Structure 1
Amino acid sequence: MASEERMAAAGATAASAAVAGTPIKIAIMGEGRMGSLIRSTAEVARDEAGAPAFEVVAQIGFDLSAADSAPAADVLVDFSNVATLPAVASYVRRTGAALVSGTTGYDDAQTAELRSLADVAAVLHSGNYSLGVAVLRHATALAARELAGFDVEIIETHHNQKVDAPSGTANILLDAVVGAEEAAGRGEYHPVFGRHGMVGARDPREVGMHSLRGGTVAGVHTVSFFGPDEEVSLTHRATSRQIFVNGALAAVRRMAGRPAGWYGFDEVMFGA
C-alpha cells in the first residue's frame, strides 16, 4: 500500500476512535526508567474531550515469558533492551499490535527480525522520539549539503548506565550527513569511531563519531562542521527523558490502527 493510502486509512481509524472516545490500549515492554515514565504519563493523559487517552493493559518486566499471555493491545511500546526482542516479536506476531520502538543497539540480524514484523503489523522504529532531534537531523542534512569540503564530527553524551555506543540518535545524524554528501555527488563517506595513536592526516570523507558517558545526562548531541577558519556546530540538549516519552505517546496516537508496514518517524509525525 502506498504511503498516502496508508496514512489516509490510519487517519480514518484515528478519527473514528476519537469520536467514540475509546482509549488506545497499550502494552509496555520494560519496567525500567523509560518504561515506568511511559506508564505514569500514559495513565494521566487525556484526550481533547477530557477522557483517558490510553489504557495500559500490560507491562512486561524481567519475566519475558509474560509476553506470551499478556492481553492484546492496540500498540506495544518498547524502550527497553535488545535482549527483549524475542518477546517483542512474539507479542506482535500473536496479537497484531502496532509497535512503537525506541530500543537501540540492534545488530544486523536483530534489525532484520525487527523489520520482518512489518509483514504482520505496523512498525515504527526510531533512535530518538524528540521533535527537536528531528529538526536537528534536517538541519544537519542541510549543513552537510551546503558546507562542501567541511570536516564533520559528531559527539554524543549520555548517562553512565547507557549500554550501547554510539547512540541511536548519533547514528541518525550520521545517516543524515552521509546521505547529504552522497546525494551531492561528493563520494562515499564513512564513520571513524574515536581515534587513538598515530592515525595520520584526517581522511576528508570520514565522519568522526565520539561517545561520552557520565553522570545522569539525558542526552546531548552535537554535530560540528570544520572549514577553513570557521566552524559551525549544531547541538540538541535533552534535560530529561520526558521529551522522549511525550514523543513516543504522540507516535502511539498516530500508529494505532495503521495497516501493517514499516514506518519512518517523519512519515508518522509530520506526514513526510
Structure 2
Amino acid sequence: MKTNTSIALVTGASSGIGQATAQRLAKAGYKVYGTSRRGAQEGQRSFQMLSLDVTSDESVEAAVSQLIRLEGRIDLLVNNAGFGVAPGGAEESSIEQARAIFETNFFGLIRVTRAVVPHMRRQGNGRILNIGSVLGFLPMPYGALYAATKHAVEGYSESLDHELRTRGIRVSVIEPAYTKTQFDANFMAPDSKLDEYREDRALLDKVLKEVMATADDPTVVADVVLKAASAVHPKLRYTAGKLAGRLRLLRRFAPAALVDDGVRKSLGLGSRHNADTHKLQQTSEKTS
C-alpha cells in the first residue's frame, strides 16, 4: 500500500525523547512508526509500534521491510535509540562494555540508516535526523564513552549529509543538553570500578541528580526534531533547549581554557588552575 502521507520511523520510541518525538510528529500529520526491542505495548498511542533491536542486523532489516510493505516508503528517519554509562572514569569500563555502548549508540544508528537509505534513494528524497548530544561537541569528565559515541554520531552525520544531499536526502544532528527522561535510570554502571574514582563518582551522581531536577522536558527536543524535519533548507546541527544553545556558542567562541574551567566548575570538580597547582605541589613534595 502506498500513501501520500509522510511516513516517519522513530527508534527508541517507548519512552523519553523518542516517545515525545513520535507523538509530536503524529500531531503534525506524519504517520509515525515507533520502535522498541519489545515492540507494541499496552496503552493508547498516536503512533504504531514495531519491534526493532538496533544491535541486530536481522531485526533491523525485518522492521524496515515490514514498514515498506505497509507504506511503500519512508520519508523521515529519527535515530534516537541509545543508552548511557553512569559517571565513572574512562578506565573503569572494560573493552566489552565500550563495545556494548558503541553497538547501540553508534553501530545501531548505522544499521538502521543503512537499511533505510536505499529506499530514500529510490524515492529521490528523505530526511535523517540523528539524536546526538551537547557531549558530542563538549565532552564532560567521567563520561568518556558516551561522549565518544556522540562525537562519532556527529562525524558520521556530517559526512553522510555530504554524500546524500545530491540525491534529495538531508541529514541533521539534534543536540540536546540535560533532558528529563528515564535515560539516567537505565544507565549501565561501570563494570571495572576502581576505588581511585569512588569519591568523584559519588560527587558526579549527586550533581547530575540535582541538574536533572531542572532539566528540559523531552517535548523541547521533539519540537526541534519537527523543526528540522520540516525545514526547507535544513541545517546540519540543531541545538535543543537554551542550555544547549549557550554551550554551543561557548564552545565556538570562548577561549578553550575558560570553557575547560567552566565545565569542571559546573560539576564541582575544581578548576584547571587548581589541578595544575595540586600537580606542582606533588612534584615539589617528591623532589624535596
Q: Normalising to structure 2: TM-score of the pair?
A: 0.41
- What TM-score does the superposition give when structure 1 sets the normalisation length? 0.43
Q: Per residue, is there more helix in 1 or in 2?
A: 2
Q: Identify the structure with bigger relative contact order (alpha carbons < 8 Å, sequence gap 6+).
A: 1
Q: Please identify which structure carries the higher strand content.
A: 1
